[in-house]
Amino acid sequence: MFVSSSLLTLFFIMLIASGISGLVFLHPRVPLSFVRIHIGILALPPLVSLVILANRSVGGTLGPWHLDSLAWLMAFFVLAIGLIIQRFSIRYLMGDRSYRKYFPLFTFTTGAASIAWLSGDLRLMVICWGATLVGLTLLIRLNSAWQVAGEAAKVSGRLFLLSWFSLFVAMIWLFQVTGQWQLSLALTHDSLAQLEVWERTGIQLLIVLAVIIPAAQWPFQRWLIESIVAPTPVSAIMHAGLVNAGGIILARFSPLFNGGIASIILLLIAGISVLIGTGISLVQVDYKRQLVGSTIGQMGFMLIQCALGAYIAAIIHLILHGLFKATLFLQAGSAVRSHKISSRAHEGTSYLWIIAGWILSLVIGVSFWLTAPGEGYRFISALILGWSLSVSWTQLVAFGEGRLGRIVGLTCLGGAALVYFIIHHLFYEWLHTIAFQSVQPPMSAVIIVVSLLLFGSVMGTWIARHRSSVFSAVVYLWLVRLGEAKPKTVESHPDYLKQYLS
């Protein structure tokens, strides 16, 4: 069943209405209480997109719009996340000088992102994605009186411009060869057959560059580290709905990628980013920097999934990670940890339970891989599945307090697995009609990335056990420095407030 023009019209009417309400809120004579009306209007576009998804009235092309389930799923996700964060911001940002400006900019940024993913025209997609990056840059520097925010916006803006220009050139190049602006026509087998090998590789590399910059992958992770000066709601929408856009772009252009040099480069960059991001999150004491490091690592794994052709898994990953990371950022103000020493006596823990967990993890991981042993993604997924199950089993079951504690741990582990499989099945139901095309990179490249990740895991374990060694200290300080912002974007005291104190 295809999306009717009336439903599409209704969606855009609601989207325009939310934009107008944001502009109305800018007027100083409009009472601040109007923001709650704005939030109510803002709830309408994601509601319409959810109705379309639930009724499965998706698919087909209508004018410049490519209205498949992926487009509507991402539109709903971005708009819903934006709605939640703006609702949270009503009280959180109260008293900020730019209070009225935040809400229209939030609405503009999420609205432009949703239109970008609904676009079936390459020109419209590039324009809307550029508008999204501009909106994000303006959100970072909205507190223009604070020099630190301005410097962070400059770093982000320059890299965003490089990313957007790279995508722009790739789309122009694709049009010049295929003669098609329509996404569905430009990526057909006949159209892509017109590309020479070097042209295809060039377009692939440009798209990879356009993707890894907003995803904060090495060596372009600097902008995300600098951006922590932005208010927490801005960080939330950045990490939840915009940083992970690379997975959608790669999924859209999957017919272009044939497992060549571009996929291998993406695989290696993402693998290095996983190690760097994980290391930053482990050594930083600042809560937001920990989340930044975690995002770099998670986006690296998402791009590994894309490079291996597991696009549906990457989309599920980016949505679940977005929800999880938005939740962590919105509760950042209450993230004061307790440093009480646990009274749990590990000495009495039965190592038989730990060994049992290792055996179970090995059996499940190998079984999962054997379902499709030739697929590189299955190999990496089996490795991660086995490792995750081993860690979870050790923490929830092996270290459980007595028989009751282990029963509770098993119940939690089984419940989490059940919820995950239900969510996984739901997303597959929505996305199974989309034909993602990809040829996997050579198995040798997959083995190199797996070896890199295993090496990082072993090194992390060794460093944790030999903290007093010189090598551990060098690696620790290197990771700390890597996760620190430049001096221009760090300020021990907000000097811009001095004008109100004098």
Chain segment 67-98, per-residue pLDDT in tens? 788 888 888 989 998 899 899 888 888 877 88
pLDDT of residue 337 exceeding 70: no
State the chain's maximal CA–CA distance in angstroms. Answer: 71
**Whole-angstrom distance, CA of residue 486 vs CA of residue 226:** 7
Number of other CB atoms surrounding residue 496 within 10 Å: 16
pLDDT of residue 434 exceeding 50: yes
Q: Is 253 exposed, middle or buried (0-12, 13-18, 19+ CB in 10 A)?
A: buried
Reported as a single tens digit per residue, the pLDDT across 104-117 is 999 999 999 999 98
Name every residue whose Cβ is closer than 8 Å to that of residue 349 and which is 6 or more positions away in sequence. 398, 399
**pTM score above 0.85:** no
Q: What tokens were used for 267?
A: 């695989």
- CA 88 from chain center: how many Å? 20
Over residues 2-26, mean pLDDT:
84
Over residues 341-346, mean pLDDT:
45
CA 317 vs CA 268, 299, 305, 490: distances in Å: 19, 9, 9, 32
**Whole-angstrom distance, CA of residue 246 vs CA of residue 186:** 20
Q: Averaging pLDDT over each range in 14-23, 46-55, 306-315, 481-490, which range is the top one?
A: 14-23
Name every residue whose Cβ is closer than 8 Å to that of residue 56 and which is 6 or more positions away in sequence. 1, 69
Which residues are bridge partners to 65 per DSSP?
62, 119
More confident residue, 384 or 123: 123
Please report the pLDDT score of residue 166 as a whole number. Answer: 94
Pairing of strands 65-66, 61-62: antiparallel
Task: Give residue 259's region: left, alpha or beta (phi > 0; psi -120 to 50).
Answer: left
Q: Which residue has the tokens 């007595």?
A: 402
User: Read out DSSP for 423-456?
Assistant: HHHHHHHHHTTS-----PPPHHHHHHHHHHHHHH
Instruction: Report the chain's mean pLDDT, rounded to a whole number.
Output: 79
Q: Angle formed by the axes of helices 311-330 and 69-92, to 10°? A: 10
Burial 441-472 (b: 16+ CB within 10 A, else e): beeebbebbbebbeebeeeeeebeeeeeeeeb
Please report the pLDDT score of residue 53 as a whole number. Answer: 79
pLDDT of residue 36 exceeding 80: yes
pLDDT of residue 27 exceeding 80: yes
Reported as a single tens digit per residue, the pLDDT across 244-285 is 888 888 888 888 887 778 888 888 898 888 888 888 888 877
Over residues 23-34, mean pLDDT:
88
Q: Which residue has the tokens 């319409």?
A: 48
**Whole-angstrom distance, CA of residue 47 vs CA of residue 34:** 21
Which residues are bridge partners to 62 per DSSP?
65
Asked if 103 contacts 22 with a C-beta cutoff of 8 angstroms, the reply is: yes
Q: What tokens were used for 14?
A: 């609601």
Please report the pLDDT score of residue 381 as a whole number. Answer: 67
Residue 177's pLDDT band (cuts 50, 70, 90): confident
pLDDT of residue 122 exceeding 50: yes
pLDDT of residue 168 exceeding 90: yes
Name every residue whose Cβ is closer than 8 Å to that of residue 113 and which is 6 or more positions away in sequence. 78, 128, 129, 132, 241, 242, 245
Q: Which residue has the tokens 């099945």?
A: 425
Please report the pLDDT score of residue 341 as a whole number. Answer: 44
pLDDT of residue 401 exceeding 80: no
Name every residue whose Cβ is closer than 8 Å to that of residue 132 and which is 6 or more positions away in sequence. 109, 112, 113, 116, 242, 245
Comparing CA positions, the residue from 134, 146, 81 lying closest to residue 109 is: 134
Task: Give percent of the chain with pLDDT exceeding 70.
Answer: 81
Residue 312's pLDDT band (cuts 50, 70, 90): confident
Reported as a single tens digit per residue, the pLDDT across 125-134 is 999 999 999 9
Over residues 443-455, mean pLDDT:
73
Over residues 162-181, mean pLDDT:
91
Please report the pLDDT score of residue 1 as a whole number. Answer: 45
Asked if 40 contacts 86 with a C-beta cutoff of 8 angstroms, the reply is: no
More confident residue, 349 or 275: 275
For 229-243, 372-386, 451-465, which range has the lowest pLDDT when averaged over its residues?
A: 372-386
Name every residue whose Cβ is closer than 8 Å to that of residue 377 and which is 6 or more positions away in sequence. 305, 308, 309, 310, 313, 440
More confident residue, 164 or 348: 164
Please report the pLDDT score of residue 164 as a whole number. Answer: 94
Over residues 238-242, mean pLDDT:
77
Q: Averaging pLDDT over each range in 215-229, 316-330, 339-353, which range is the top one?
A: 215-229
